[in-house]
Structure 1
Amino acid sequence: MNFRSTSVQFRLSKLSREEFSKELYRPGVISLTRIVWGSLGGGLLLGLIAILSSQTGIKVLYPPLAATCFINTTCVYLRVARPKSVIIGHTVASICGLAGVWIGNYIDPGAEFIIPLKLGLSVVLAAVFMQIFDADHPPAAATAAIPAILPLPMPWYLLPLHMAWGATITVVFAFIWNRVWFEFPARDIDNYVKNAGLYMEKVQIAGVAICIASCVIMSFQLVSPVFRISGLCGMAAGIVILGTHHFKISSQVS
């Protein structure tokens, strides 16, 4: 009796995991598993970010992170859902959005064209530099656009690091939520060797780990300015490591 029960449980577990396979758990397939698990995860993730933001005083831009929450729980096999793409994508796009605003103000074409100019410049710069830094992440284009049309909830110089904080939370949640059923990040053509149990390069793992530790430290900024400063500095260091390691690899290959 116990053997039969164990056998049935094993088959059900195998069936459940098959429903999360790359062939079924992806855009283009109407999957009940993806509709329920992926959608629930996305909603819980954005709610978690909102709670943490209000409790820590770290303001973020919710619209682009909402799109990231969707990708990180329902489109997990895509390259744009990988940790580097998420964290560096939002960081680079933040800087490009600010640069687009500054350049637009410098050109100053007049009230009628100033907003379109800022929007165009911000998204062009974000598209260029996300590709240069190997961090394509479509939701980050919204991160670049928002400074051109809306007032920021934080000082402009904190936008990149605050968005990196929010992006890091989405990565941590995705690690926990997705790995209940399948490998995350997913194996792909550039990440097919496991390091520390993850399909990621060692440098990427180190960069993400620093970002995660810094995210935690930043969350205690209301306790002491020391946490705020050390957390921001650590996040900046993690971003540099995570965002630039591929330049060395590319030069070695060439």
Structure 2
Amino acid sequence: MPKKLNSVQIRVRSICRREFERDVYRPGVISLSRLVWGSLGSCLVLAAISLLSKAAGIAVLFPPLAATCFINSSCVYLRVARPKPVIVGHFVSSIGGLAGVWTGELLAGDTDFVIPLKLSLTLLYAAVLMQVFDADHPPAAATAVIPAVLPLPMPAWLFPLYMAWGATLTVLFALVWNRIWLEFPAKDDDHRVKYAGLYMTRAQVWGMALCLLSMVLMSCKHIVPALYFLGLGGMTLGVLLLGTHHFVEALITRKAGNH
């Protein structure tokens, strides 16, 4: 029987499909399913990213991706766990981070204010970009601010693409891991119709598919460099499709409403 302690519910039940439904597989509920399946999924995907990053020679920032791994495995019904916010969020926050660092150094130079200014500007830019591109993903805020205090492990121009590579890996794992027990991405108020078996719009499915393909191509960096560069271009296009389709849909809806 589930036990309620203040605002927290404790469920002492074996792992089964019921324990992965929206009302119980969520923050605020301590259950065997989240403790085992959610936690195990988080650690497995981060380990996979670490191994593949080293093997492929594609450096990423692990702290923000670790937070993404947790959300994708343990908080799957949140909007921030959907593929679009995960991939686009890390991509645009990387750009915001680079812009904030550049602006901070331009304005404060070698003064004592340069670090606080860079930290605040990187987060400001990332917050604006994530909202504009409908990609609110809290872990991506860390992606933005880390360059303000630590050197990047990759050339600056590759930073957004490499973080999108890592984010796409988390999405791939979440699709496989979560769908053993539940629908992922989850159905919500904005995604009630399936396309290709997923609660995503057509543009989101194609954008995600392009990112997944590009992630594989980028992983061929040491094997076939030409495929790696093709993957960089494909990842850019995939993120653009994921991050801008709502603007196109809004224009189409507006034009249809005027007729």
Q: Give TM-score, length-normalised by structure 1.
A: 0.93
What corresponds to 2:49 in structure 1? 49
1:1-254 correspondence runs (5 A): 16-108=16-108, 110-254=110-254
The answer for unaligned runs of 5 or more in structure 2 is 1-13, 255-259
What is the CA–CA distance in structure 2 between the aligned matches of 1:15 and 1:38, rounded to whole Å? 11
**In the alignment, residue 196 of structure 1 is paired with which amino acid?**
A
Note the alpha carbon deviations across 1:163-206, whole angstroms, 9 max, x for none.
00000000000000000000000001110001111000011000
Is the CA contact 2:122–2:145 (under 8 Å) kept in the aligned structure 1?
A: yes
**In the alignment, residue 16 of structure 2 is paired with which amino acid?**
S
What is the CA–CA distance in structure 1 between the aligned matches of 2:252 and 2:28, rounded to whole Å? 38
What is the CA–CA distance in structure 1 between the aligned matches of 2:250 and 2:217, rounded to whole Å? 33
Alpha-carbon offset, residue 224 of structure 1:
2.5
Alpha-carbon offset, residue 15 of structure 1:
7.6
What is the CA–CA distance in structure 2 between the aligned matches of 1:129 and 1:48, rounded to whole Å? 28
**In the alignment, residue 28 of structure 1 is paired with which amino acid?**
G
Instruction: Indicate the SS of the match to 1:216.
Output: helix
The answer for unaligned runs of 5 or more in structure 1 is 1-13
**In the alignment, residue 81 of structure 1 is paired with which amino acid?**
A
Aligned-residue Cα RMSD (Å) equals 1.2
Alpha-carbon offset, residue 126 of structure 1:
0.5
Note the alpha carbon deviations across 1:53-106, whole angstroms, 9 max, x for none.
010000000000000000000000000000000000000000000000010111
Instruction: Indicate the SS of the match to 1:180.
Output: coil
Instruction: Indicate the SS of the match to 1:30.
Output: strand
- As a proportion of its length, which structure holds more helix? 1
**Aligned residue pairs: how many?**
241
**In the alignment, residue 157 of structure 2 is paired with which amino acid?**
Y
Q: Give TM-score, length-normalised by structure 2.
A: 0.91
Is the CA contact 2:15–2:32 (under 8 Å) kept in the aligned structure 1?
A: no
**In the alignment, residue 94 of structure 1 is paired with which amino acid?**
S
Note the alpha carbon deviations across 1:108-139, whole angstroms, 9 max, x for none.
25431100100000001101110010000000
**In the alignment, residue 211 of structure 2 is paired with which amino acid?**
C
What is the CA–CA distance in structure 2 between the aligned matches of 1:233 and 1:253, rounded to whole Å? 30
**In the alignment, residue 210 of structure 1 is paired with which amino acid?**
L
Runs of 4+ in 1 over 3 A off after TM superposition: none
Note the alpha carbon deviations across 1:203-238, whole angstroms, 9 max, x for none.
100000000000000001111320221010111111
Alpha-carbon offset, residue 250 of structure 1:
2.2
